[in-house]
Amino acid sequence: MDKGTPIVVVAFDRPKSLRRVLKSLSEASYELQDIDLIISIDHAPHNQEVLEVANSFDWKFGEKIVKYAKTNLGLRKHIINCASLAIEYGSVIILEDDLYVSPNFYSYSTQALSFAEERQEIGGVSLYNHRTNVHKSRNFEPTYDSYDNWYFQFASSWGQAWTKNQVADFLEWYEQTPNISNTKSIPKNVRAWSDKSWLKYFIAFLIEKDKYFIYPKVSLTTNFSDKGTHVGVDSTAFQVPLLTVSKKKYKFSELSDSKCVYNAFFENQHLHNYLNIEKEDLSTDLYGYRDQYDTRYVLTSSILDYKMIKQFGRSLKPHENNIIFDIEGNDFFLYDTLEKVINPAVKNRFREITYQIKHLNLSDAKYLFQNLLQQRIKGILSKIFG
């Protein structure tokens, strides 16, 4: 009997979260019956209930292995240790405990791993599909083509899978103790993440080696964002639509064929084709997040003191479709940085904000304002008085 790619659930001190993700795993669809489930629990003073949840769970699709760290590893070392199991098994699927999986997550993972196996440009497989630009807290959605995946120079931490070679390549780079604190090609938000983050190093690795994660168009995991190491309060901000069917045959694109290729700034890397500009001559910054550019032409939502060549509206979604379909307006600007001019344009903040939401009535807006203000005040007082 063929042994399947193991599933590793990463846990710490959230019994409710662990119980929920294990429930979703038990309800998923599996074509194999020999799949190791490894529940890896980091050491904590008060996580006896987590151990009880892990030990009592009945796994019907193979062997269940519960690992409990003798000392606290921290999230970064814990995840890297779990990823390294790919070298032993040939591949691995990693799920943190605050996730919930689609019934089809395992089939997707094995299909994607098989596709990625011999493609050096792929550094890993994401089960999650981002719908938020984490740098700007703005809506994000990749544009659509005829394939089921898109490419992103941004590693996934909310459900990911790796082959043995992908993990080995990362570890070879990581063991050189890279210093990424001043690398401008890495978003400043990522560089500022805690030293507990393994993710920022994997993102840096992808950027330096020009590799990508492949992401699904429809997510196979969703994130409850339960309170934990990197989350202060529970949130629905990263809940995304979850595929509900249990069987699907995936059509994956080659990197060279895909129109859905995004850099670590959540920016589409093919917009130069619609502007008749060479790729190396254009910096794309539709979110207005970047503050430095090293190309002649800049496509951005920011008001810059350079010659404005062309303007686009902010109407179609996702926002790069306004460039692809050449929609007129005053929201996105193409500049030639060789010519400095004083630009009198003013950013339309109202349109930028309302573009993010379907509808918000006055009563709801008032309630949100008051609630957010109270949270901010509580946070300030907590920092002052402890």
pLDDT tens figures, 179-192: 998 888 999 999 99
At residue 23, the 3 state secondary structure works out as helix
pLDDT at 233: 62
In the chain, the DSSP E strands lie at 7-11, 37-41, 64-68, 91-96, 99-101, 122-126, 132-133, 138-139, 149-152, 160-163, 212-216, 221-223, 261-262, 282-285, 297-300, 306-312, 332-340
Residue 108 has pLDDT above 60, yes or no: yes
pLDDT at 244: 97
Residue 314 has pLDDT above 50, yes or no: yes
In Å, the largest CA–CA distance within the chain is 71
High-pLDDT (> 70) share of the chain, %: 98
Range with the poorest average pLDDT among 104-108, 116-120, 158-162, 344-348: 344-348
| Extents of the domains making up the chain | 7-262, 272-349, 359-385
Q: Which residues of 230-252 are buried (b: 16+ CB within 10 A; e: fewer)?
A: eeeeeeeebeeebbeeeebebeb
- Band of pLDDT at residue 162, cut at 50, 70 and 90: very high
* Encoded tokens for 95: 């799920």
Cis amide prior to 318 (ω within 30 degrees): yes
High-pLDDT (> 90) share of the chain, %: 87
- CA-CA distance, 151 to 154, in Å (whole number)? 9
Q: Are 143 and 321 in contact (CB under 8 A)?
A: yes
Superfamily name with CATH number, domain 7-262: Spore Coat Polysaccharide Biosynthesis Protein SpsA; Chain A (3.90.550.10)
pLDDT at 358: 86
Residue 284 has pLDDT above 80, yes or no: yes
- CA-CA distance, 47 to 51, in Å (whole number)? 7
Taking all residues of the chain, what is their mean pLDDT, rounded to a whole number?
Answer: 95
